[in-house]
Amino acid sequence: QVQLVESGGGLVQAGGSLRLSCAASGRTFSGYAVGWFRQAPGKEREFVAVIRWSHGSPNYADSVKGRFAISRDHAKNTVNLQMNSLKPEDTAVYYCAVTSRIATPRPGNYDFWGQGTQVTVSS
């Protein structure tokens, strides 16, 4: 199975930046699309961004377009999420996930999930 580990979360001021990383073990991301999701207390898990490992352009949730960027690092076997212009509303646990199906915003479409990393944005 693919094992995923997120890192890079922390506490930042509004307007600041964080860079999250998702590392895979057991196998590479080959054949998968890799997505980032987030879940704030009392809210449903929310799609953030997704990119196919092998090729193609990323897709983003409207709430993060222009602020977040997902990218691949084939040499390190990681997928990163650069988060800029952070808002308090971005506060959540961020999860990396992969799907062997068509990349969609639906959490139920994803096969494996990491444990999450906390991102807190203060006002």
| pLDDT 10s digits, 69-92 | 999 998 899 999 999 999 999 999
Does pLDDT of 35 surpass 90? Answer: yes
Going by C-beta distance under 8 Å and a sequence separation of 6 or more, which residues neighbour residue 25?
2, 3, 4, 5
pLDDT of residue 28: 84
Work out the pLDDT band at 27, boundaries 50, 70, 90. Answer: confident
Mean pLDDT confidence for 27-45: 93
9, 16, 44, 104 from 82: Cα distances, Å? 11, 11, 22, 20
Q: Give CA–CA dist 52/71, Å, rounded.
A: 10
